[in-house]
């Protein structure tokens, strides 16, 4: 079968149109790909920023508690509760009431050593309170951003060092390297992090880092 000039030019026209369509689709896909990359990069920056902010506010609280405990020690030459460098103390009960100047036995001069926010939905502050400076009850706790009380260890034998809880047999790591056996400090405080598990150290937030 013979193909005349008209048919050839018609086929060439089809080929050119197909090529044009192909390029158009290619550029649409490429543009979509670039858009998705930019979007995911922007999202990762926002997530990092939010995580950084929460980390800072929890770390700030661990340091504030530590300062308050040291101020208490300076004022009374003892801590509000018996020190322990093996059993975790929590931000509740006499420890909390004493730091807030609300336990007459432990803190007879009623000195307020720390100013704490009221928790929102049980998180990041004093739980069960409606107003700031309201007397706390026996069930009030001081929680981190994820609703868990903080963990404290206090030097009990006066050598100004505390066995590092990161070295306990139950400690779980995925990314972090092994830590020092002892921490040179009289008090350490940490949050169990977003997973609310004190044994998992990748997300825990400590006063000593």
Tokens describing residue 92: 């509740």
Place of tokens 């103390």: 89
Tokens describing residue 141: 């706790």
* Interface region with Ca ion, contact rule CB under 5 A, candidates 63-71, 108-116, 170-178, 198-206: 198-206
Residue number with CB closer to Ca ion (100 or 183): 183
193 binds Ca ion (CB under 5 A): yes
> Do the Cβ atoms of 187 and 44 come closer than 8 Å?
no
Residue number with CB closer to Ca ion (14 or 51): 51
Among 204, 205, 206, 207, binds Ca ion (CB under 5 A): 204
* Interface region with Ca ion, contact rule CB under 5 A, candidates 10-18, 101-109, 137-145, 189-197: 189-197
**Residues in 26-45 that interact with Ca ion by CB under 5 A:** none
CB 199 to Ca ion: min, Å: 7
Residue number with CB closer to Ca ion (113 or 190): 190
Among 54, 91, 191, 192, binds Ca ion (CB under 5 A): 192
**Residues in 61-120 that interact with Ca ion by CB under 5 A:** none
- Dihedral class, residue 101 (left if φ above 0, else alpha if ψ from -120 to 50, else beta): left
Residue number with CB closer to Ca ion (9 or 57): 57
Number of residues that bind Ca ion (CB under 5 A): 11
CB 159 to Ca ion: min, Å: 4
Residue number with CB closer to Ca ion (70 or 200): 200
What whole-number distance in Å separates Cα of residue 149 and Cα of residue 168?
20
Residue 44 CB neighbour total at 10 angstroms = 10
**Residues in 141-170 that interact with Ca ion by CB under 5 A:** 155, 157, 159, 161
Q: Which residues of the chain form contacts with Ca ion (CB under 5 A)?
A: 155, 157, 159, 161, 192-193, 195, 197, 200, 203-204
């Amino acid at each position: 079968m013979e193909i005349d000039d008209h048919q050839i030019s018609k086929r060439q026209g089809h080929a050119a149109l197909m090529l044009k369509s192909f390029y158009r689709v290619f550029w649409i896909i490429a543009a979509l790909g670039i858009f998705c990359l930019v979007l995911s990069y922007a999202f990762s920056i926002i997530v990092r920023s939010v995580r950084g902010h929460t980390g800072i506010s929890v770390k700030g609280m661990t340091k504030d508690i530590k300062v308050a405990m040291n101020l208490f020690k300076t004022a009374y030459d003892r801590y509000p509760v018996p020190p322990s460098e093996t059993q975790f103390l929590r931000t509740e009960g006499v420890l909390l009431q004493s730091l807030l100047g609300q336990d007459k036995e432990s803190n007879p001069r009623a000195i307020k050593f720390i100013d704490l926010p009221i928790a929102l939905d049980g998180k990041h502050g004093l739980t069960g309170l409606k107003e700031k400076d309201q007397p706390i009850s026996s069930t009030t706790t001081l929680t981190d951003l994820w609703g868990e009380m903080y963990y404290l260890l206090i030097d009990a034998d006066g050598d100004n060092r505390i066995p590092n809880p990161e070295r306990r047999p139950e400690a779980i790591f995925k990314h972090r390297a092994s830590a020092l056996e002892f921490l040179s400090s009289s008090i350490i405080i940490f949050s169990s992090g977003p997973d609310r598990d004190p044994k998992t150290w990748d997300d825990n937030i400590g006063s000593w880092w």
